[in-house]
Structure 1
Amino acid sequence: MLKLKMFINGEWMDSLRGDKSHVVNPAIGKIMAEAPQGSREEAQMAINAARTAFDSGIWSDLPASERATYLFKIADKIEEKAAELSKLETENTGKPLKESEFDIADTVNCFRYYAGLVTKPNGQTYSVADPVQAMVIREPVGVCGLIAPWNFPLLTGAWKIAPALAAGNTLVFKPAEITPVTTYKLFEIMEEVGIPAGVANLVLGGGSTVGNEIAESQKVDLISFTGSTATGRSIMNSATGNIKNISLELGGKSPNIVFADADFETAIDYTLNGIFTNAGQVCNAGSRLLLEESIHDKFIARLVERAKKIQVGPGDDSSTEMGPLVSEGHLKKILEYIQIGLDEGATLACGGNRITSNGLENGYFFEPTIFVDTRPDMRIVQEEIFGPVLVVQKFKDEAEAIQLANDTSYGLAAGVFSQDGAKALRVIKKVRAGITYVNAYNLAYNEAPWGGYKQSGIGRGLGTFGLDTFTEVKQININLDVKPTEWFSN
């Protein structure tokens, strides 16, 4: 069993109170690691270390090329340890090994992307009326509090840590309580490559203690959080104490719109990918399928046929296509939503049950599930379930498709399937979502911005936008004609 520790000011440590929690492998329901449970005290220690490190300039004063060298070294080390990290990610989250391998490779690319980006030109100059050289430069924000979710532990951690370090910030990182293992390994790597003490700090613990302390602290200049909208709202409120910068990537109930003229099998395939990858535990999951009426019955018949053939099992089995849910608590939540849907009058086209056969009785496995006969006012249509549960809605025409697509409080992602390019673009431009796809779904790139509209968050991660998030803009005006202004007469 792994024994995890926290990393504060360049030192590994246990909880000051001796509190510990167990990390469970969701495929077998057994403990795989022991983690210290930090409190507000450890969070304060980490924040103070990051504050001191930033104010000293030990990291922010380094040339961008030197910071980039560290990031390239981190990427190389992650690549060297890819097999170990992939195995641990699968053991901790339950996802199939091929998904974990993809996540680790993307983590490597993320660090390399920001290592390269930070040395590229930035800033602006302006020609103004006065004899003045006006310019804009970007500087690091300062101390960044980074809080990551449990569904993509290492990858979403990299999405925050890489640009934060590249920009010259120091940081305090809190992973999700139930999936801290690969993040712990990442901090081992950062120590190995020589990141200066205090620059990057890891605190393990609960959101109500460690998370709140990070969000409330007057010494933290920016908070970056990925998770539920409800928690994001709480963090946003806590961050008002010193009006800190906020970056929030929150929930989604994303529509996947399929028109009658779509390539049928392509739409089927991406629909399955959009909702059943990582057992539907994906913020941008295509959890609402909007079907044009004329193809509804045919599409659902084929979709159900394919969904029933998905191989559900432990992630370390090469035949597995969908792993378990991440925890027993999350399994209970999904089961509650199934009952809610049935009580509301929706019909299960397939799934809806925990899987306890074929040796899976100790894990948190769940059937790929599809609800039909839904209404827009149903909770299963409006609320983020965050599991392998697809709800299907019908539409008559383009206008109704757009209306239904926008009929939730979320606006993270959306997909359109049609072989009429003009129609697809018209619809995409009308859908209020930040991440959109045409004849595809569930794609993500380090080079492109990530984030949503409405209650799906504030700001953007990844791409140049992700680096901008971790910088402040400073205007500089240099007088080229140094003499009195004579504005006042005496």
Structure 2
Amino acid sequence: MSASSRFRMFIDNEFVESASGEWFTTDNPFTGRPFAEVASANEEDVDRAVRSAHRAFNAPEWKGLTASQRGELLLRLADLIAAHVEELAVAEVRDNGKLISEMRAQIAYMPQWYRYYGGLANKVEGAHLPSDKKNTINFTRYEPLGVVAAIVPWNSPLLLLAWKLAPALAAGNTVVVKPSEFTSTSITPFMELVKDAGFPAGVVNVVTGTGPTVGAELVRHPLVRKVAFTGGETAGVAIAEAAGRRLIPATLELGGKSANVVFADANLDNAAKGVIGGIFAATGQTCVAGSRLLVQREIADEFIERLLAIARTARMGDPLSTDTQVGPVTTPVQLGKILRHIEDAKAEGARCVLGGGRAERPECGTGWFVEPTIFTDVTPQMRLAREEVFGPVLAIMPFDTDEEAVSLANSTDYGLAAGVWTSDLKRAHRMAEQLQAGSVWINTYRTSAPMSPFGGYKRSGLGREGGADAIKQYLQVKSVWIDLNDEYPSPFVMRL
């Protein structure tokens, strides 16, 4: 490979190689072949990045900025992202295999997160508190935590980084980013924009490498004061344990086994499109994938035929083509996991009515493709109904009553999202109240906004990203007391 195919880390506003000089390869999911090399960080590199962020946190170039000035930097970054949508979108597609049409839309919308938190930076307010002590003033102030470790997954690296980076910087923290080892290259052109926006050296740093080496060392580092993680449950539990031992906060957005609930009174054409989009868009590689379809029994046969009619027309192929509707799986490891889930579902007695294996179509070439797959005759006890597949595999279960729908929807250990399709406004409100999910979409699916909180119930995670309250998860509150009395009372008695 040429030197131009090498992607370096970003530390102290410079693109640098690893201390060891080692590299690892990253693959293009459409071709199934390596296309670049990425710097392979070790403990020394993590320490260098964290110490750079720690110095920046205490340096006047960052610490001396007002909240309004921090907000202006975020607004400038938002404008730069908007001017480089195509470059960033193509970089994402080459690395994770998602559709260019989706990535263009996603990157074009991404500046809204930086604009939202850029505007929110100078609106974090403490409070003057009432006091029951004469001549005493008590007020609160919010202060940044310090160095934040932002660990992002491979399915939407830049967008999910925005959910962490924007509020962390708005709050006055500095950040060390650890992208997935499977999708580390799109971060390079983005860091060019961070630098061009004028952020001081060390405020944002990037270390690249594996989770067990780089991610674990980052969470363990004594100067890291918070971890923000999106990814799998196993890694999330390990991060929570490590953060707990250090008594630092962790925001965790983990897996899901989300239900799309379709009632007989729904607009079935819209519901069918929503269900298809919920599971086959992004090749099912999204934490909110509507991987369980709960459909009212009286319309089940008709609705499944509608789904099959749409799904059979799905065009697979090059994700850089605007005609493609289903792209490749991002990693060969994930490809194997999806195929094992499919075989296990067949062995457990689920009936495969569409797909059911690796795609061998000519237009898929040598890439890591799975046919859009639909199973019926699924029971709640089956692995397919309980575990996250993270691929284009839909499990269908019928229900009769509202109560049964709620029971089925809530019958997993996860609670990230849910969809409800109905024309009954009262039913919609009841379902929104009773479903154990951090996001409930009524007559829509898979939508988000920077002003809306996002996160999960149960094993889907801890904390929330998005919305005004999210910035406080990157702040700590301080209570300040001022005594105005002329004479101090007895030093041996606590002032109550």
TM range (shorter): over 0.9
The one of 382, 386, 392 equivalent to 1:388 is: 392
- The answer (yes or no) to whether the contact 1:50–1:171 under 8 Å persists in 2 is yes
- The answer (yes or no) to whether the contact 1:8–1:202 under 8 Å persists in 2 is yes
Q: Which residue of 2 aligns with 1:69?
A: 72
Shift of 1:93: 1.4
State whether structure 2 residue 126 is matched by structure 1 residue 123: yes
State the SS of the aligned residue for 2:168. helix
Q: Which residue of 1 aligns with 2:288?
A: 284
Which AA in structure 2 matches 1:93? N
- The answer (yes or no) to whether the contact 2:316–2:363 under 8 Å persists in 1 is no
Q: What is the CA–CA distance in structure 2 between the aligned matches of 1:43 and 1:282, rounded to whole Å?
A: 28
Q: Which residue of 2 aligns with 1:142?
A: 146
State whether structure 2 residue 444 is matched by structure 1 residue 440: yes
Q: Which residue of 1 aligns with 2:108?
A: 105
State the SS of the aligned residue for 1:135. strand
Shift of 1:203: 0.1
Specify whether residues 435 and 57 from structure 1 end up closer, same or farther in structure 2 by C-alpha distance, changes over 3 A only: farther
The equivalences for 1:4-403 within 5 A come to 4-130=7-133, 131-403=135-407
The one of 466, 473, 476 equivalent to 2:477 is: 473
Q: What is the CA–CA distance in structure 1 between the aligned matches of 2:166 and 2:154, rounded to whole Å?
A: 18
Shift of 1:237: 1.1
Deviations 1:231-285 (A, max 9, x none): 1001111113321111000000011111111111111111111111110100011
Report which stretch shifted further, 405-414 or 346-355. Answer: 346-355
Deviations 1:144-202 (A, max 9, x none): 01100000011001111111111100111100111112212111211222321221110
Which AA in structure 2 matches 1:376? P
State the SS of the aligned residue for 1:144. strand
- The answer (yes or no) to whether the contact 2:88–2:190 under 8 Å persists in 1 is no
- The answer (yes or no) to whether the contact 2:124–2:142 under 8 Å persists in 1 is no
Q: What is the CA–CA distance in structure 2 between the aligned matches of 1:488 and 1:200, rounded to whole Å?
A: 48
Deviations 1:418-474 (A, max 9, x none): 111111111221111111111111111111001001000000011112211111111
Shift of 1:38: 0.6
Which AA in structure 1 matches 2:381? D
Which AA in structure 2 matches 1:392? I
Specify whether residues 383 and 420 from structure 1 end up closer, same or farther in structure 2 by C-alpha distance, changes over 3 A only: same
Shift of 1:487: 7.3
Specify whether residues 474 and 57 from structure 1 end up closer, same or farther in structure 2 by C-alpha distance, changes over 3 A only: farther
What root-mean-square deviation, in Å, do the aligned CA atoms of Structure 1 and Structure 2 show? 1.5
- The answer (yes or no) to whether the contact 1:413–1:452 under 8 Å persists in 2 is yes
Shift of 1:6: 0.5
Q: What is the CA–CA distance in structure 2 between the aligned matches of 1:297 and 1:115, rounded to whole Å?
A: 49
Q: What is the CA–CA distance in structure 2 between the aligned matches of 1:483 and 1:275, rounded to whole Å?
A: 70
Shift of 1:224: 0.6
Task: State TM-score, norm by structure 2.
Answer: 0.96
Shift of 1:486: 4.6
- The answer (yes or no) to whether the contact 1:216–1:241 under 8 Å persists in 2 is no
- The answer (yes or no) to whether the contact 1:59–1:169 under 8 Å persists in 2 is no
Task: State TM-score, norm by structure 1.
Answer: 0.97
Which AA in structure 2 matches 1:50? A
Which AA in structure 2 matches 1:268? A
Which AA in structure 2 matches 1:108? P
Which AA in structure 1 matches 2:106? D
Q: What is the CA–CA distance in structure 1 between the aligned matches of 2:299 and 2:482, rounded to whole Å?
A: 65
Q: What is the CA–CA distance in structure 2 between the aligned matches of 1:375 and 1:440, rounded to whole Å?
A: 25
State the SS of the aligned residue for 1:304. helix
The one of 455, 463, 467 equivalent to 1:463 is: 467
| Aligned positions, number | 489
Shift of 1:303: 0.5
Shift of 1:80: 1.4
Which AA in structure 1 matches 2:210? G
Specify whether residues 336 and 315 from structure 1 end up closer, same or farther in structure 2 by C-alpha distance, changes over 3 A only: same
Moved over 6 A (4+): none
Which AA in structure 1 matches 2:99? P
State the SS of the aligned residue for 2:208. coil
Which AA in structure 2 matches 1:22? T
- The answer (yes or no) to whether the contact 1:223–1:247 under 8 Å persists in 2 is yes
Q: What is the CA–CA distance in structure 1 between the aligned matches of 2:249 and 2:229, rounded to whole Å?
A: 11
Q: What is the CA–CA distance in structure 2 between the aligned matches of 1:463 and 1:340, rounded to whole Å?
A: 40
State the SS of the aligned residue for 2:182. coil
Specify whether residues 482 and 353 from structure 1 end up closer, same or farther in structure 2 by C-alpha distance, changes over 3 A only: farther
Specify whether residues 119 and 347 from structure 1 end up closer, same or farther in structure 2 by C-alpha distance, changes over 3 A only: same
- The answer (yes or no) to whether the contact 2:317–2:363 under 8 Å persists in 1 is no
Q: What is the CA–CA distance in structure 1 between the aligned matches of 2:415 and 2:139, rounded to whole Å?
A: 35
State the SS of the aligned residue for 1:155. helix
- The answer (yes or no) to whether the contact 1:355–1:361 under 8 Å persists in 2 is no
Q: What is the CA–CA distance in structure 2 between the aligned matches of 1:237 and 1:194, rounded to whole Å?
A: 36
Q: What is the CA–CA distance in structure 1 between the aligned matches of 2:459 and 2:64, rounded to whole Å?
A: 37
State the SS of the aligned residue for 1:178. coil
Q: What is the CA–CA distance in structure 1 between the aligned matches of 2:232 and 2:486, rounded to whole Å?
A: 54
Which AA in structure 2 matches 1:340? D
Which AA in structure 2 matches 1:474? K
State the SS of the aligned residue for 1:59. helix
Q: What is the CA–CA distance in structure 2 between the aligned matches of 1:395 and 1:12, rounded to whole Å?
A: 55
- The answer (yes or no) to whether the contact 2:438–2:457 under 8 Å persists in 1 is yes
Q: What is the CA–CA distance in structure 1 between the aligned matches of 2:60 and 2:167, rounded to whole Å?
A: 17
State whether structure 2 residue 400 is matched by structure 1 residue 428: no
- The answer (yes or no) to whether the contact 1:279–1:323 under 8 Å persists in 2 is yes
- The answer (yes or no) to whether the contact 2:114–2:166 under 8 Å persists in 1 is yes
Specify whether residues 434 and 57 from structure 1 end up closer, same or farther in structure 2 by C-alpha distance, changes over 3 A only: farther
Shift of 1:388: 0.6
Q: What is the CA–CA distance in structure 2 between the aligned matches of 1:414 and 1:20, rounded to whole Å?
A: 41
State the SS of the aligned residue for 1:173. strand
- The answer (yes or no) to whether the contact 2:318–2:363 under 8 Å persists in 1 is no
